[in-house]
Amino acid sequence: MRVLAHFVPGDKVLEFLEPHADWLDVRFCAEDDDNTFHHELPEAEVIWHVLRPLSGDDLVEGSRLRLVHKLGAGVNTIDVDVATQRGIAVANMPGANAASVAEGTVLLMLAALRRLPELDRATRAGAGWPSDPTLGETVRDVGGCTVGLVGYGNIAKRVERIVVAMGGEVLHTSTGDDGHPGWRSLPDLLAVSDVLSLHLPLTDGTAHLLDADALARMKPGAILVNTSRGPIVDEHALVEALRSRRLAAAGLDVFAVEPVPADNPLLGLDNVVLTPHVTWYTADTMHRYLELAVDNCERLRDGRDLANLVNQVGG
């Protein structure tokens, strides 16, 4: 079975796959290597997809494709409609990266609350002593904060457990009142959260959910953390809120355009902590991804039902 894996493997990935080499022919391609991608695509039966968008044209070009398996949960980077029209199954891995993204979320939360990038730069420059007196007025403990979660799926619930263990109060919002005592409407959540963390998929209904009006409703001095999808936030409005210091800081793993353009004004702000969409990317998550990806390839090979399908194909 020919698989096009849209990422560069490390030694542990190759070691994991070696026992399956008698039936699984995995060809690797860096996400920014379009030449190799288009060379391999016509022969691929399966794509292990990460982030580089798969367009309808790509799916047409992949004339032998039977399965696109997202290494992760969000399938907004796949043209699922075209895949369905062409009889190509699309599957994902809900929850497989939840532990890693939750820890990465708290990492960004802490780094923003504790002004970590600024202190790191000052220490390296020999300017860390005497201590900045504003630290005692601005730096916060998670345990002293109200943390608001927008979305309440697998990742958000893991974040909740970590924050509660650190002494923080956690509230959340979701599609409707779920009966949980921590549920609040979005406007109420914006008004009371010291830290607002986003955990929801990108859809037509969530694009720019955090627009200028929503950001203006946030508690003055609050911190925004986004490890979900960049377009959920209006970046221009966010830049203005951070420049004016109405929001104290942001911790961002995702962006409206990825890779982030060099002229993105977020890159020039000293109250923003940035990572390149990698909170999911750990050895532990990759091991879980590979187990699930190989399992679905075995199911496809053996004619069994595929796991975690997001579309319906065939009769």
Active site members: 229, 258, 277
Query: Exposed, middle or buried: residue 156 (CB in 10 Å: 0-12, 13-18, 19+)?
Result: buried
Q: Look at the alpha carbons of 283, 287, 290, 296 in this order and tell me if their dihedral is positive or negative.
A: negative
Q: Look at the alpha carbons of 233, 234, 235, 240 in this order and tell me if their dihedral is positive or negative.
A: negative
Six-digit token pair at 12? Answer: 């542990």
142 DSSP assignment: G
Q: What is the distance of C-alpha 212 from the center of its chain?
A: 22
Question: What is the per-residue DSSP string for 42-104?
Answer: GG-SEEEE-SS-B-HHHHHH-TT--EEEESSS--TTB-HHHHHHTT-EEE--TTTTHHHHHHH
One-letter identity of residue 232: I
